[in-house]
Amino acid sequence: MSIVYRTTRCTFSSSRVWTRLLIVLLLTVTNNPLLASREKSGRVERPNIVLILADDLGYGDVGVYGSKHVRTPNIDELAREGVQFASGYVAAAVCSPSRAALITGRYAQRFGYHFNNNGRSGLPASEKTIGERLNEKGYRTGLIGKWHLGWQESQRPNRRGFDYFYGMNSRGIFISPDTKGVETWIPGGYDGTRESSTTRPSNDGLITRYTLSTRDQHPLYKNETPVEDGGYLTETITREALGFIERNKSNPFFLYVAHYAPHMPLQATKKYLDLYSGIELEQQRIYSAMVSALDDSVGAIKAKITEEGLAEKTLIIFLSDNGCAKYTQGACTNSPLSGGKRYQLEGGVRVPYIMHWPATIPKTRFEPMVSSLDIVPTILAASGIEVTSDDRIDGVDLIKFLRGEDKSVPHEALFWRAGPNRAVRFKNWKLWKVNKTTRDRALLTPNDELIMAVANRDSPMGQLTVLYDLSTDPGERINLVDEHPTIVETLEEMLADWDSEMAEPSVDSNRTSAAFVDGSAVELIF
């Protein structure tokens, strides 16, 4: 909001008149109730920003989103004191393109980022990150945890707007699996084997191979120097996040805490495993313990902000990069949603999503659709940084909706694409078009196990089209494609219009998995 003063042409006979006029103008500005309101709302003073990202956290694995057994008191408190988004979406169903959209505010498909590129390419230099935008305006910026947007030197966090980086460029392990009291679980298919592997009661070699290769290929970095840390990764990330806040508490800062938990490999320490001793299923017990460690991290960061007197001027955002993975074989849940990681169904792209800024945003449960694309423009608006049409930002500033300043909805439609697989949600309708595959192929991969194949082309078997009414069927169980041909046609036209603005994949996908949807075998491309 800007204040415009209209003046008339006047002639003044002495400098004293100019002085008096200047005093009046200054008093008018400093006592203006509109400006005072902006100061009170946090829109003038640049707030601190803390963005906490979980990795593969299930929609149904947080207390306020319906979990009955995973304990998340700190995340729940964040939601109760802030905004819990009922329909919070991410822009992709897998890690890397989701993160690319998150830190640019743009559909990653605009710049050809459809898949987990696995080091073959990273975030294009042409794309501006939120770290770069805030750094240019004097913010101290830090990334603690998982980057996953390029391994090459020019693509690393310190070259993409972050003053401080402590983490790994891609995947990682949480702790050495032979550490006393640690339990580890890896699903079959994760390393080309058929059987799942656990360190209790025995280790068949898969875990050793996987963890050693991961540690060697993806070292821990402090800025651009490899370092070693023998602690539990979730606690290490928390320690570094608290240190960043301590060092920068006197300056506006942006802290991006990109946790690895609860991504594979499932690993937890005795401290957290003991909380779930009553759960018999090994992978579910370890996963639940990992989420509790993540929850403790959220609590520690929030407590540090309060302790330093920064709560009134700090916006905290919490969400997951995508839904939890079905290949964990019962460890997690996206209930009541269907599908999971890799799926463009609700369970793959609808996630726990919370904003906390009590001084500015009233606490509420917000029902309309929001997207991770909205995080960049929300941060920029809160920080007083202008967004122009040249930026081609796809998200919107959510604060004006949360404060009731805009009575419309942030989005009527959201879109997803991974190669030939595409989806759109328009109001209550969800359309998904996904490549078909052979039934034998799907039966060979009952737990979404990996198939190494180039697969970002149209399938010779065509596509499955499904249509769901989310207002009555949030679990996407009833395919209405035959009952509503006009709606299908409209949504397909919307998808085509959106797709005409997107770029084709910059690299081929070399990984897929197969699944059954509505009785058909389909190929999940990522």
Tokens encoding 319: 């969400």
Q: Is the pLDDT of residue 410 over 80?
A: yes
> What are the pLDDT digits (tens) for 178-202?
889 999 998 865 544 444 555 443 3
- Strands 253-258 and 140-146 turn out to be parallel
Whether the link from the prior residue into 262 is cis, omega within 30° of 0, is yes
DSSP state of 436: B
The runs of H, that is alpha helices, within 252-332 are 270-273, 282-307
Q: Which residues partner with 193 through β-bridges?
A: none
Alpha-carbon distances, residue 36 vs 42, 137, 251, 309, 385 (angstroms): 10, 23, 22, 21, 19
For residue 153, what pLDDT band results from cuts at 50, 70 and 90? Answer: confident
* Structural domains in the chain plus CATH codes: 48-402 (3.40.720.10), 415-525 (3.30.1120)
* pLDDT of 368 strictly over 70: yes
Report the C-alpha gap between 429 and 244 in whole angstroms. Answer: 43
Q: Does the structure show a pLDDT above 70 at 243? A: yes
What is the average pLDDT across 396-417?
98
Residue 508 has what pLDDT? 85
For residue 173, the model assigns a pLDDT of 84
What is the model's pLDDT at position 257? 99
At 402 the pLDDT is 98
487: three-class secondary structure by DSSP: helix
Instruction: With beta carbons less than 8 A apart as the criterion, state whether 238 and 145 touch.
Output: no
Distance of CA 255 to the CA centre of its chain: 14
Q: Is 49 helix (H, G, I), strand (E, B) or coil?
A: strand
Q: What percent of the chain has pLDDT over 70?
A: 84
Report pLDDT digits (tens) over 331-353. 999 999 999 999 999 999 999 99
pLDDT confidence band for 488 (50 / 70 / 90): very high
What are φ and ψ of residue 305, in 5° steps? -60, -40
Q: How many CB atoms lie within 10 A of CB 340?
A: 28
Q: Is the pLDDT of residue 35 over 90?
A: no
Q: Tokens at residue 144, please?
A: 């603690």
Q: Which residues are catalytic?
A: 95, 148
